[in-house]
Structure 1
């Protein structure tokens, strides 16, 4: 048997389509005392067949700087702000558009130390239309993600 014939006899695996829509979820990671960090994940599918990928992970200090944006995303997804506590075990599901906006805020502000610049970035992203946030989100998770994030920060904070 030659090599091409052996390759032809190997059974191929089919990829199964995941039914459902894209969404986001917040996972609370307890810190010291009553502080918490967060991970935002992008999800595809529902119930038993869910694919997830982590988009951004924040330390408790970084979480404190964007708490207003967190509450806005949680309210926009139909939850009460009180669901976000340091003792929370279950993920908090976010609507797609609210998750895209929040993920973009987290990615843009994560490496920034100056509070004025963080506020300028959050205000700039909140002023964007939904279409703009989807555009920048796709750029910030794509091939040239670091360059796109830097461009977004430069555009919104005038630094």
Structure 2
């Protein structure tokens, strides 16, 4: 979480590798406070499914919040797909489409959206889910 003005915050999703003694983290996606506000329901859902209370999302939080892998993948995919979108209706369609996906589908699209042709895959996913 990255505090912003007032009671808003940005968000960074990191993918971690390794054991507790030696963990390597790489940033998957970073959102501004405005972008985070548009997908806050998806963020709360990921927290809840990972066993956290929504109250862990505080403006002063410094420590990372660990999500279960499937929930982290689904949230990251949601953020990757919605990040450049301005239209609220389209953001809602993308979030709903990703929420309707099976776990296997989210892993497939996640791997595509962070791979070599990530930009093309993200555009394809947005087109598929928002009918644009």
1:133 maps to which residue?
106
2:30 aligned to which of 57, 67, 70: 57
Partner Cα distance (1:142, 1:33) in 2: 36
1:101 aligned to which of 59, 74, 85: 74
Cα deviation, residue 46, structure 1: 3.0
Note the residue ranges of structure 2 that are not aligned, 5 or more in a row: none
Size of the alignment, in residue pairs?
A: 132
Partner Cα distance (2:28, 2:5) in 1: 23
Cα deviation, residue 33, structure 1: 1.3
Q: Secondary structure at the match of 2:99?
A: helix
Cα deviation, residue 48, structure 1: 2.4
- After the TM superposition, which residues 8-157 of structure 1 pair with which residues of structure 2 at under 5 Å, given as runs? 28-157=1-130
Show CA shifts across 1:77-123 (max 9, x none).
11001101111111000000000000000000000000000000000
Q: Secondary structure at the match of 1:101?
A: helix
Q: Which runs of 4+ in 1 moved over 6 A?
A: none
Partner Cα distance (2:61, 2:93) in 1: 30
Note the residue ranges of structure 1 that are not aligned, 5 or more in a row: 1-27
Of Structure 1 and Structure 2, the greater helix share is in 2
Partner Cα distance (1:97, 1:132) in 2: 11
1:13 maps to which residue?
none
Q: Secondary structure at the match of 1:94?
A: coil
For the aligned residues, what is the CA RMSD?
0.6
Q: Secondary structure at the match of 1:79?
A: coil
